[in-house]
Structure 1
Amino acid sequence: MATHEQIYQNQSDIYELMISKQPELSEVIRGIRNFQDLAVLDLGAGTGRLSSAVAKDAGSLICTDISAPMLELLDQKLIGQGLERNWSAVVADHRELPLADKSIDLAV
């Protein structure tokens, strides 16, 4: 059986196929907080399930994950949606985020 690290580093395409079957979440997130024009951070963004839900309406979007292959798929997914480039994908450990204090309005 594959470990979490193996899945996130070596099986990002399989992970994406698995989560692509899950429902779209923009309305669920908007029900918690309207993210229109906000600076949004997607922690553990993976292949972009939440990022793709908020990217169109967010003012800016920073997508962080420890797995570069996952973020590569996220980037391809958002580009494939034809969105204006308002996002960045950053390999980062969530214990030490490369962000300025008070630079984010909403974290998902």
Structure 2
Amino acid sequence: MEAALTQVIEMAIALLMAVIAFWQHRRKQEVVAFFDPRDSGVTTPPASVPSRSWTMDDATKQWLCAGHSPDEQASLLQQVADAEAQQKTSYIVSVPSGYYEIEYGLIRGSGKA
């Protein structure tokens, strides 16, 4: 009887592991689809993607504002906040003295006006 019980427990554990593997694979596909979309349009991240992966951190915001007047700094930060509120992953912020291309919360490029 003990051997049969051991087999039942092993089968239950194997089934549980299969369910966990299926769930993890499905979640991985959602994340990959977000970070490597088929089209280049702006996508909304699924709930499984944490916001820290597409929002700008404080250090990057300080770098973005460096060398700009207080009015331009306020404008840049407001544009970033607006884009993050819309959950955009790629956008451009601009001020009279230049512009910045932002992607996944990082400065991708910049130029002077």
TM-score over 0.5 (shorter chain): no
Compare relative contact order (CA 8 Å, sep 6+) and give the higher one, 1 or 2.
1
Higher gyration radius (CA): 2
Q: Whose helix proportion is higher, 1 or 2?
A: 2
